[in-house]
């Protein structure tokens, strides 16, 4: 009778461990899928930025520092290879894009340019898509990280090497402030 009880306990623990492992694999794949989705939107934005900068260049020739900062931040973000690297690069890119759009307020002809208006609309839509994909990514990461940290699933996580994933959050105070343009 004792062996039967021990066998049942071992079977329950084994079924739980397999189920927990499979759950981690499912959530790990969801995290990767969520980041890949966001990465597609980010790539589209990276592709739009040079067109935006070229449009602005014709009107704001003496603003080369801002335009160069946008291209530099775009290149850094586009070439980032890790999740952490992309998150950091995106923080910088979002900040300089804000400066670029604030700069355009000083150029009424630019604000009326049809190409600029269309690019600005496309980028605004893309920013909304990126924001939604970041929300989804963060939601999936939150669930995965919770499983990595809560008992008893943290035992399976530590045995099989599942680690917390980074959230995509804005921590740079510059991005939270209003953009100021001074000439």
What are the tens digits of pLDDT across the range 128-170?
998 899 999 999 999 999 999 999 999 999 999 999 999 987 6
Query: Across residues 118-126, what is the average pLDDT?
Result: 84
Domain range list for the chain: 32-125+169-176
pLDDT tens digits along 83-98? 888 888 888 888 888 8
Per-residue pLDDT, averaged over 113-128, amounts to: 82
Torsion of CA 92, 97, 102, 104, to 10 degrees: 150
State residue 183's pLDDT score.
32
Task: Enter the pTM of the model.
Answer: 0.71
Please give the average per-residue pLDDT across 65-94, as a whole number: 86
- 3-state secondary structure (DSSP) of residue 145: helix
Q: Answer yes or no: is pLDDT of 42 > 60.
A: yes
Lowest mean pLDDT among 22-31, 59-68, 94-103, 163-172: 59-68
Rg of the chain, C-alpha, whole Å: 23
């Amino acid at each position: 009778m004792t062996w039967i009880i021990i066998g049942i306990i071992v079977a329950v623990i084994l079924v739980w461990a397999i189920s927990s492992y499979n759950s981690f694999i499912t959530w790990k794949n969801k995290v990767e899928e969520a980041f890949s989705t966001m990465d597609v939107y980010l790539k589209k934005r990276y592709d739009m930025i040079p067109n935006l900068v070229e449009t602005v260049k014709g009107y704001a020739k003496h603003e080369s520092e801002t335009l160069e900062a946008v291209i530099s931040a775009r290149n850094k973000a586009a070439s980032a290879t890790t999740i952490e690297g992309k998150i950091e690069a995106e923080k910088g890119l979002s900040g300089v894009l804000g400066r670029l759009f604030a700069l355009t307020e000083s150029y009424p002809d630019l604000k009326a340019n049809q190409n600029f208006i269309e690019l600005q609309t496309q980028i605004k839509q893309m920013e909304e898509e990126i924001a939604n994909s970041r929300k989804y990514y963060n939601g999936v990461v939150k669930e995965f990280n919770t499983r990595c940290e809560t008992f008893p699933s943290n035992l399976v996580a530590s045995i099989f090497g599942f680690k917390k994933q980074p959230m995509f959050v804005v921590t740079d105070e510059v991005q939270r402030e209003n953009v100021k343009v001074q000439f």
